[in-house]
């Protein structure tokens, strides 16, 4: 699947910022769009896949979270609600009632995905059991598992995944981490790609901090087969990024992001805001995902409506200052053109003798898998 893409750029699934139109635009431009379906129920997933299928023949991915059903202790829920009460008052919201459900049911979402069989499905927050992966693959669905450590990549390999998305600590949004704690899993994209490449024999997608042609070229040079780019698309026309978040991105100070679990109960990277700062001293005691996430839902929506960035999630990666405006298809093509130019220029300057680069192409440099080759605009090989 990855080697069939004419542009090895996957538009990252971004819940709250990416619906069908951006995925269609990127897939039709030659990259691979992703539809963020974690918040969708089975019927909504089926409807989205039907909409995607009628708009593109190209590969695309549907993305969901791997979650265990939860039955929280009422005292945990009460404490979380008390913590949020003053913030709800600030936005004129009534006292909180307990949500009907805490999150979508992963098993039901997987069943829906298998029924409608999109070309690819990507997963984060956990690893599916091998029999579920086998059911997806039997339906001809390309399975991509997100890993933030080598151990997580090995878990997905053992489960039978087709490819690994290596999510470095630079990445915007939630950490996909599911085996060790956040601190043990805070690995930069450069180390993560190299160490997973050395340990796991699957196609590899690099994610995290990749926002321009230089970043794409670097990730491919590290041995990635494709890149997954999120933050770079947040200002695109087709992204559904809320207006206050767009403003926050455009006006971001230098080095503006932090990791927080205050908003959802799971560590995520976003532009720092008042709620994140206020919760920082008690961050460890905040209710876990998806409890906190469900309980802050109304509050975040009210903040967006009030055009306020105080309590909303401003998910964005460390390279957020490089996010660009424009049409998603143009961004995709420009990123790839830029990456190709960078690779050409660097090969000319640092590539060594023709013999050296030939050896590299044949995979004799310490790659477990031979690096793929790309067709340059002028028809030559990159």
Ligand X SMILES: Cc1cc2nc3c(=O)[nH]c(=O)nc-3n(C[C@H](O)[C@H](O)[C@H](O)COP(=O)(O)O)c2cc1C
How far is C-alpha 266 from the chain's CA centre?
Answer: 14
Stretch that binds ligand X, among 127-135, 228-236, 337-345, 360-368 (CB under 6 A): 228-236
When the beta carbons of 42 and 209 are compared against ligand X, the nearer one is 209
Least distance CB 379 / ligand X (angstroms)? 30
Task: Draw the binding track, 196-215, toward ligand X (x: CB under 6 A; -: no contact).
Answer: -----------xxxx-----
Least distance CB 318 / ligand X (angstroms)? 6
**How far apart are the C-alpha atoms of 57 and 80, rounded to whole Å?**
45
| Contact yes or no for 273/309 (Cβ under 8 A) | yes
When the beta carbons of 317 and 371 are compared against ligand X, the nearer one is 317
For 255, counting Cβ atoms within 10 Å of its Cβ (0-12 exposed, 13-18 middle, 19+ buried), the class is exposed
When the beta carbons of 132 and 170 are compared against ligand X, the nearer one is 170
- Distance (Å) of CA 203 to CA 108, 141, 335, 354, 369: 28, 15, 21, 27, 8
Least distance CB 295 / ligand X (angstroms)? 19
231 binding ligand X? (CB under 6 A)? yes
**How far apart are the C-alpha atoms of 61 and 73, rounded to whole Å?**
35
- Distance (Å) of CA 122 to CA 20, 76, 125: 15, 31, 11
Residue 116: CB atoms within 10 A of its CB come to 18
Contact pick of 31, 126, 230, 265 for ligand X (by CB under 6 A): 230
CA quadruple 64, 68, 72, 73: dihedral positive or negative? negative
Least distance CB 10 / ligand X (angstroms)? 9
7 binding ligand X? (CB under 6 A)? no
User: Closest residue (Cβ) to ligand X?
Assistant: 230
Query: What residues numbered 118-147 form the site for ligand X, per CB under 6 A?
Result: 124, 146
Contact pick of 118, 126, 173, 242 for ligand X (by CB under 6 A): 173
When the beta carbons of 14 and 83 are compared against ligand X, the nearer one is 14
228 binding ligand X? (CB under 6 A)? yes
* Interstrand relation of 257-260 and 268-271 (parallel, antiparallel or unpaired): antiparallel
For 263, counting Cβ atoms within 10 Å of its Cβ (0-12 exposed, 13-18 middle, 19+ buried), the class is buried
Least distance CB 267 / ligand X (angstroms)? 12
Least distance CB 231 / ligand X (angstroms)? 3
When the beta carbons of 81 and 190 are compared against ligand X, the nearer one is 190
153 binding ligand X? (CB under 6 A)? no
When the beta carbons of 165 and 329 are compared against ligand X, the nearer one is 165
**How far apart are the C-alpha atoms of 35 and 11, rounded to whole Å?**
9
Least distance CB 210 / ligand X (angstroms)? 6
Least distance CB 116 / ligand X (angstroms)? 19
Q: How many residues bind ligand X (CB under 6 A)?
A: 29
Task: Draw the binding track, 306-335, toward ligand X (x: CB under 6 A; -: no contact).
Answer: ---------xxx-x----------------
When the beta carbons of 22 and 171 are compared against ligand X, the nearer one is 171
Contact pick of 38, 103, 291, 311 for ligand X (by CB under 6 A): 38
Nearest to 56 by CA among 87, 81, 31: 31
Stretch that binds ligand X, among 14-22, 66-74, 96-104, 299-307 (CB under 6 A): 14-22
Sheet strands (E) in the chain: 9-11, 33-36, 60-65, 120-124, 142-147, 163-167, 173-174, 204-207, 226-229, 257-260, 268-271
When the beta carbons of 2 and 77 are compared against ligand X, the nearer one is 2
110 binding ligand X? (CB under 6 A)? no
Q: Specify the residue for token string 């043990």.
A: 184
Alpha helices in 200-269 (DSSP H): 213-221, 243-250
For 191, counting Cβ atoms within 10 Å of its Cβ (0-12 exposed, 13-18 middle, 19+ buried), the class is middle
- Dihedral of the CA atoms 221, 226, 228, 234 (nearest 10)? 90
Footprint on this chain of ligand X (rule: CB under 6 A): 12-17, 36, 38, 63, 124, 146, 167, 170-174, 207-210, 228-231, 315-317, 319
């Amino acid at each position: 699947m990855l080697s069939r893409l004419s542009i090895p750029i996957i538009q990252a699934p971004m819940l709250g910022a990416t619906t069908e139109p951006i995925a269609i635009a990127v897939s039709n431009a030659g990259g691979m769009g992703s539809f963020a379906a974690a918040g969708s129920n089975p019927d909504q997933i089926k409807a989205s896949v039907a909409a995607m299928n009628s708009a593109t023949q190209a590969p695309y991915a549907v993305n969901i979270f791997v979650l265990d059903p939860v039955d929280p202790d009422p005292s945990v829920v009460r404490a979380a609600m008390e913590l949020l009460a003053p913030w709800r008052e600030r936005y004129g919201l009534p006292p909180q009632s307990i949500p009907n459900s805490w999150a979508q049911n992963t098993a039901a979402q997987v069943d829906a995905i298998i029924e409608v069989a999109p070309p690819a499905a990507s997963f984060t927050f956990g690893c599916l059991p091998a029999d579920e992966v086998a059911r997806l693959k039997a339906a001809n669905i390309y399975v991509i598992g997100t890993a933030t450590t080598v151990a997580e990549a090995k878990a997905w390999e053992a489960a039978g995944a087709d490819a690994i998305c290596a999510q470095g600590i630079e990445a915007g949004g939630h950490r996909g981490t599911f085996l060790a704690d956040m601190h043990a899993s805070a690995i930069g994209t450069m180390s993560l790609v190299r160490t997973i490449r050395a340990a796991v024999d699957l196609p590899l997608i690099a994610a995290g901090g990749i926002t321009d042609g230089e970043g794409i070229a670097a990730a491919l040079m590290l041995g990635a087969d494709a890149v997954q780019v999120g933050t770079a698309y947040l200002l695109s026309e087709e992204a559904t990024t809320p207006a206050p978040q767009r403003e926050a991105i455009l006006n971001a100070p230098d080095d503006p992001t932090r990791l927080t679990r205050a908003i959802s109960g799971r560590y995520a990277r976003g532009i720092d805001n008042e709620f994140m700062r206020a919760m920082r001293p008690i961050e460890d005691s905040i209710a876990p995902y998806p409890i906190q996430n469900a309980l802050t839902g109304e509050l975040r929506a009210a903040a967006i409506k009030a055009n306020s960035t105080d309590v909303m999630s401003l998910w964005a990666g460390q390279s957020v200052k490089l996010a660009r405006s424009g049409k998603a298809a143009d961004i995709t093509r420009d990123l790839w053109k830029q990456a190709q130019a960078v690779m050409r220029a660097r090969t000319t300057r640092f590539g060594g003798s023709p013999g050296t680069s030939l050896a590299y192409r044949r995979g004799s440099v310490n790659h477990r898998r031979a690096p793929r080759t790309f067709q340059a605009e002028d028809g030559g090989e990159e």
